[in-house]
Chain A
């Protein structure tokens, strides 16, 4: 059980700067996701927290104690590797018991604990088999068993579902989340899969190029992205981003987009120059009264909803609308954006402008 705090964490590999300056806090018992594309520094951040890499600068606090320079073994954490890293020369029982042996736990106690964990994970029947012939799912469970047997302060997982087949991932993701909820231990989970992050995480940190782009609960990140990167990375399809030249003044409740006025949450700061309007596909509605128009170039049927792609003056707009609305390719339709859900970005800095909508989200992130 632990709170983990990261302050100004930085890591350089020679000339390459893997993590620039990360700051975020993981509360006790949270299921915390480190999300980003490959090479964004999320795994390096996790490895520094675990003690497998030394930070170049910055601090890592576990339960208020600075541990940046401590050995991995002194941090009382467990790590689940993407390739599981089960000791190949040991059977399942010895793999799970291995962390206990280093602590000098007695034989009978070890046996009892290993069997308890095996029951919890449903792997009692394979305890005495070598790890070589196990299926991906069983290896995953053994790796989890080895992690939880010691009851550490926190679990660190580096894309633990990455090596599993697609059909099995869903199942394992549920199992993992259920296990977390039962044990209530702080879990830090690295993934590049935004769906996995949204589905499992209590909180998400989005990283890109070694920088923390945004940090918060999934809903906030999805609704109010702090940067153009987050807007484009989360959601499928991602947020529509319409770039335009113009100005927005502080306290404004609308902006001019191609001669049409678009209402939006009242701004808390102004900007001028190259700006971008961001709106999620589900907040775009077809409305024949709207002056902002686009030509339908594609429709994609998804059951109850459909994704309609329109070519508008400032680029393509995707709208997620009920599939019973008839839309024909080639027709022109008016577009209305949900006024409560519009974000405005400064393209120069890629940051979102503060508004009545996102100020709470951006303030604590």
Chain B
């Protein structure tokens, strides 16, 4: 038996492999678990040393994340006892709630800008990739290289020109501006990824549809798109992850109306002491949409729907 032969793993080998995989997964997921746990700690538990593994969970972090509060005298609190569970939580610290925080708005900005730019990137990317894949386009290779070249330096390298451009075009701190920016950054990735997927779909499917009496566009929507679903889903996940997590441009180009969650979350620290549970709660909620989106599209990532339909 040579070292390169393919044989079934023995029982101890499987155990060792299993332990390695689980160990690696734990190391990777630990910071995430730490953040989630911190979100449910009280401020004193959050900074306790040695760190508390077992603690009494509280929603203080989440209440603080979603509200703005003000300190009150004991007399005022005695006259106005807390009406709700979240008012009771802040009352422990001699505070009352004066209104919602900005987190909800910022989070919605992230949703609009993140999903908006993802939709545009995938939509435009699919059309472009189909054209590049199927038609004779003059200078096709050069154009594809040009598209790739837009990603050859980090996007933030052109931050200053973009900042100036956005200011003179009135795009600073607007949803449209941020959607355009993230779409521009993601397009090269989406065109290249999707072209690869569409190249894999045999032309004969569309040709069969053309002969069966459909137009080119119908062939595209009814035959190509369903089969490109896997590619479209994975491309969408990549685009969303980038747009969702982007920090540098968001700090630079947004401040008020269009500010996304990433630049907002660090500002929570500054409001009334170092409120780590609120920051952790913000980070936890911020993670959810990408996780949910990925889980929803997971079956498309795993399923090879063209399997067996073509004999090569």
Contacts and interface: CB of A to CB of B under 8 A. Distances in A.
Given A89-B226, A89-B227, A84 B311 contact: yes
Contacts of A71: 210, 215
A83 B211 contact: no
Interface in A301-358: none
Interface residues on B, range: 20 to 34
Contacts of A98: 209, 212
B154 interface: no
A17 interface: no
Contact of B223 (A81, A84, A87): A87
Interface string A70-94: 0111000111010111111100000
B308 A132 contact: yes
Contacts of B6: none
Nearest to B210: A72
Contacts of B312: 83
B207 interface: yes
B210 A133 contact: no
B202 A85 contact: yes
A253 interface: no
B176 interface: no
Nearest to B306: A88
Contacts of B227: 88-89
A183 interface: no
A87 B306 contact: no
Interface string B251-263: 0000000000000
A146 B202 CA distance: 18
Nearest to B307: A132
Given A132-B309, A163-B311, A73 B207 contact: no
Contacts of B310: 83-85, 88
Given A83-B204, A87-B205, A50 B211 contact: yes
B233 to A, nearest CB: 14
B270 interface: no
Contacts of A291: none
7 contacts: A83-B311, A87-B209, A88-B227, A88-B310, A89-B227, A98-B212, A146-B208
Interface of A: 50-52, 71-73, 77-79, 81, 83-89, 98-99, 102-103, 131-133, 136, 139, 146, 150, 163
Interchain residue pairs A-B with the least CB separation, the first 9: A88-B309, A102-B213, A85-B204, A132-B308, A99-B212, A85-B208, A72-B210, A73-B213, A89-B226
Interface of B: 202, 204-205, 207-215, 218, 223, 226-227, 305-312
